[in-house]
Chains A and B, each alone.
Chain A
Amino acid sequence: MAHEAAPTANTRLFRPGYAGHNQISARTLGFWLYMLSDALLFTALFASYAVLDTPMNAAGGPIASQIVNPIEGFWQTIAILGSVTAYSLSTVSMKNGKRGGTALGIIASIVLAVVFLAFGIHDLTALAAQGDGMDRSGYLSAYFVLILTHAIHMGIGILWMLVMLVQIPRYGFNEMVVARMLNLRMFWQFQATVWVCVYVYVYMIGA
């Protein structure tokens, strides 16, 4: 077998100066793996939603077509996709080494994300106020928890952006700040993708 070859004069046993792994590539791979696990989390939530999205599980309460508002959801979709675009433009500024432009993009991204969340939270509080909260039925439980889990992810993303707004002026674009910015971009795009799934599956099909 090839791997049983005898050593020759050129055989090396050690590799001095071997640089090892690259921090950014390891962090990027690690973050992709985290997102895989996060995707599984949303998959399980979507599956639960699918199981509980029946008139029987509505237990006499409202069903999807009575609560979802695809027009409002459309504006939410515009807001979140706008937020992703703003963040992407901010990373373009980062590529050009412009701190101001980068910060501006992040701020725009936060504002649009807050708009998105305001729509969603208004929606949920209105439902709860009319007695159709998450404790009304199995269906509403699934609806609330799916939307809220996504909202919590969005909230964590906003917190992350605020941290970056402090770190960029403080450290400039060093290796770690760039790695965080790039991972945050993936995170943000991933959350927008999840929302698109929510919009299609809950809002459009539901209506």
Chain B
Amino acid sequence: MQLQAPGPWSLLFGRLTLDQIPYTNPILQVTFAVAALIGLAVIGVVLYYKKVGYLWREWLTTVDHKKIGVMYIIVGLVMLFRGFADGLLIRTQQVLANGPHAAGFLGAQHGFLPPFHFDQVYSAHGTIMILFAATPILTGFQNIVVPLQIGARDMAFPYMNAVSLWLTTAAAALVMISLFVGDFSQAGWVGLIPLTELPFSPGTGVDYWMWAIQISSVGTTLNAINMIVTIVDMRAPGMTWFRMPVFSWTTLSTNIIGLTAFPVLGVALALLGADRYLGTHFFTAGMGGNLMLYTNLFWIWGHPEVYFLILPTFGVLSEVIPTFSEKPIFGYVTMVAATFAIAGISWLVWLHHFFTMGSGPDINGFFSVATMLVGIPTGVKVFNWMFTLYRGRITYTVPMLWAMFGLFLLLIGGLTGMMLALPAINYTVHDSVFVIAHFHCMVLMVVCAGFAGVTYWFPKLFGFKLDESWGKAFFWTFAIGTITVFTAMFALGFEGETRRLEWTFNTAWKPMLVIEEVGMVLYVISLALFAMMLVVSIKNRNRERLGADPWGTSRTLEWLTPTPIPFYNFAVTPQVNTRDELAWRRKHELANAKPDAYEEIHMPSNSGLPVILGACAGIFGFAMIWRIWWLAALGLLGIVAIVIFRSFDKNAGYHLQPNEVEAMERNLAIGSITSEQPDRSHHSIHAEAH
């Protein structure tokens, strides 16, 4: 048994000692100061405006899918910022530490990051961007949009939805805590084996990485169940499968992937955890372990995960492009078929991440062909989008610009992906930055669709648009920055730069590294422009209050709800008559039709349990990382107790009376998701009552 890791251990604090807090590191001092300032500022604002109660009642305890979606996106954006800061450190280190004579600062031989720190930075960058930035942002969109698009009042399991959010948030918090207490993993975001084993990584870094992912993946699995049941069970009357918007289809497919792939990641990490905590030999180099078992298990999740990210972004493009082309999507049925084809193939390609493992020509050949097959349905999609644009009445709004640039990145990433699918090429460029440039094109396509979605759906939720000119400035700096960084990176890949280099030894790389750094400067400027866009838009929010359909050309059901959306979504459930219901109603001048009478609405009650459960999960994770056994037991016990306690809770929601609904429909400000709701527990009903 390896329950006791090397180093001091005490019953009360486990492995946690004061010198685990890296207060001597100047970079972390600055980071801590900035984080503390932002944190204090947020707390100060909340206290100054006396919003503690509001925050607790309306946000932290909410079970409203729209608010949960907004909080997912906030968590995702915060982590996106953190992940970007890591990326900036990596690029700056590589350009400073170029060649044998590169100067060293802050205790590093070259550049300013010693290998010990640099390795943590790239590991954190990958882990954060994939699991704690992209995933929450996309989950947020699905949460906000899908129930509206299918004409539902909420998710199938609103309480569980909140549980998913707070598990993800707890996991993200663990990653952030690793900055200031202990270290993060140095073994890459994929957890290179056997480097992650206890003898080679005796610190707590790998534990932070492992437990954060484990906790967030439970959240993602629960969310996948929720989304699938919502789509299967809660579509409005008349919304047959083939009237469902493409974004809802992609959400369905992506969550089927999530549901089936994440348990495998859970097993891979749990077995690694058994190795680290119980002394088993699953992946050890000796004693009958099998290193490639881990790599296979990880990528059996890892590749479907890539499509888990990209399919919803395809869905976003499929909403944005028809709206701003004023045409129905071209080839709807083939779009749906292509979505599921991609989801299906995603299971059969994982080995292309390690062709160089040496499985022999037959196996590599199979996975090579399977990988190239992905190009067929993806090509179908790209052509469908192009034919949607063809002879459309195109308006280049900010979401449309993001969608167009996303298509461009998809093309570059897709074509280089086809190159990498050939084992012969793959052997040559394996682990070079060519691969990095390829998959960054793909994930930046996800980011582009993310910003397209943010600008597209923002006015629906909050009733005002994000500022168009700042938005365009943000877009162009970001787009040019992306092209600058990754064109140079493709070239460096061909020049033989391998990935994860803390010291770029070859001086011939210098010009390209400098160009990459220039691109990073553009990214920094674009971030400032993004912040300006938010500030200016919020400042001018009352200049133009928008109606139900702010873009005027939207096609799907979410734009039928009033703006800002009341918390109950639809006062009366809509009847769906056709595929692009809103476009059809607009064409026949029915878009503003109101229901004849309002009726009682059943709504779920808020609950503080999910956020407490999330806190227990975070405590459990932290205690396991530091091997504070009593605290871990307490955290786990807390989770079990909350689950059991909840099953004894008879409060099954409350009923909104028709007159209340009518008042809120007349004055939308009362029911909007940013307004404070009165306590309606006197309307509460019990499970037996219905």
Contact = CB atoms under 8 A, between A and B. Distances in A.
The reply to whether chain A is a binding partner of chain B is yes
Interface stretch (A45-53, A83-91, A118-126, A190-198): A45-53
Among B288, B575, B590, B595, residue most surrounded by chain A Cβ atoms (within 10 Å): B288
A18 B235 CA distance: 11
Contacts of B297: 44, 47-48
B458 interface: no
Interface in A27-65: 29-30, 33-34, 36-38, 40-41, 43-45, 47-48, 51-52, 56-59, 61
B225 to A, nearest CB: 5
A135 interface: yes
Interface stretch (B20-28, B37-45, B266-274): B266-274
B375 interface: no
Given A14-B572, A30-B225, A141 B281 contact: yes
A134 to B, nearest CB: 5
Interface string B445-467: 00000000000000000000000
B260 interface: yes
A136 B615 CA distance: 36
Interface of A: 3-7, 11-18, 20-22, 25-26, 29-30, 33-34, 36-38, 40-41, 43-45, 47-48, 51-52, 56-59, 61, 134-142, 144-145, 159, 163, 167, 171, 174-176, 180
B157 A30 contact: yes
Given A40-B263, A44-B267, 18 more contacts: A7-B577, A15-B236, A15-B573, A16-B573, A16-B599, A20-B573, A26-B156, A30-B226, A33-B228, A48-B267, A57-B290, A135-B279, A136-B287, A141-B275, A141-B280, A141-B281, A167-B648, A175-B687
Interface string B201-238: 00000000000000000000100111011001110111
Interface string B498-541: 00000000000000000000000000000000000000000000
B118 interface: no
Contacts of B590: 7, 13
A18 B280 contact: no
Interface of B: 1-2, 152-153, 156-157, 221, 224-226, 228-229, 232-234, 236-238, 243, 259-264, 266-268, 271, 274-275, 278-282, 284, 286-290, 293, 297, 300, 572-575, 577-579, 584-585, 588, 590, 593, 595-597, 599, 640, 644, 647-648, 650, 652, 687-688
Given A14-B595, A48-B267, A138-B289, A36 B280 contact: no
Contacts of B287: 59, 136-138
Contacts of B236: 15, 18
A59 B236 CA distance: 59
Q: Closest 4 A-B residue pairs measured CB to CB?
A: A138-B288, A59-B288, A141-B280, A135-B279
A17 B289 contact: no
Given A36-B260, A37-B221, A138-B290, A59 B281 contact: yes
A26 B604 CA distance: 15
Contacts of B2: 135
Contacts of A48: 267, 271, 282, 293, 297
Given A44-B267, A141-B282, A56 B288 contact: yes
A3 B243 contact: yes
B280 A26 contact: no
B288 A15 contact: no
Contacts of A12: 575, 577
A82 B271 CA distance: 31
B263 A13 contact: no
A175 B689 CA distance: 10
Nearest to B289: A138
Contacts of A167: 647-648
A34 B225 contact: yes
Nearest to B259: A37
Contacts of A20: 152-153, 234, 573
Q: B234, B290, B595, B652: which has the most chain A beta carbons within 10 Å?
A: B290
B259 A33 contact: yes
Contact of B288 (A34, A45, A52, A176): A52
A5 B578 contact: yes
Contacts of B1: 135
A30 B259 CA distance: 11
A188 B153 CA distance: 33
A179 B181 CA distance: 44
A111 B325 CA distance: 66
A52 B572 CA distance: 58
B234 A21 contact: yes
10 contacts: A14-B574, A17-B599, A30-B225, A38-B263, A48-B267, A48-B282, A52-B290, A57-B288, A138-B284, A138-B288
Contacts of B652: 176
Contacts of A176: 647, 652, 687
A137 B233 contact: no
Nearest to A33: B225
B263 A21 contact: no
A55 B35 CA distance: 53
Given A20-B153, A30-B157, A145-B271, A41 B687 contact: no
A29 B229 contact: yes
A140 B282 CA distance: 9
Nearest to B243: A3
A180 B157 CA distance: 15
B573 A142 contact: no
Given A26-B233, A37-B260, A40-B264, A11 B577 contact: yes
B595 to A, nearest CB: 4
Contacts of B264: 40-41, 43-44
B282 to A, nearest CB: 5
Contacts of B572: 14-16
A163 B640 CA distance: 12
Nearest to A135: B279
A129 B164 CA distance: 41
Contact of B280 (A7, A29, A145): A145
Contacts of A140: 281
A43 B599 CA distance: 48
B186 to A, nearest CB: 25
B290 A29 contact: no
B286 A59 contact: yes
Nearest to A176: B687
Contacts of A144: 280
A34 B275 CA distance: 27
Contacts of A171: 650, 687-688
B574 A15 contact: yes
Contact of A18 (B233, B243, B282, B573): B573
A7 B588 contact: yes
Contacts of A57: 288-290
B260 A13 contact: no
Contact of B575 (A3, A15, A41): A15
Contacts of A52: 282, 288, 290, 293
A13 B281 contact: no
Nearest to A52: B290
A175 to B, nearest CB: 6
Contacts of A30: 156-157, 225-226, 229
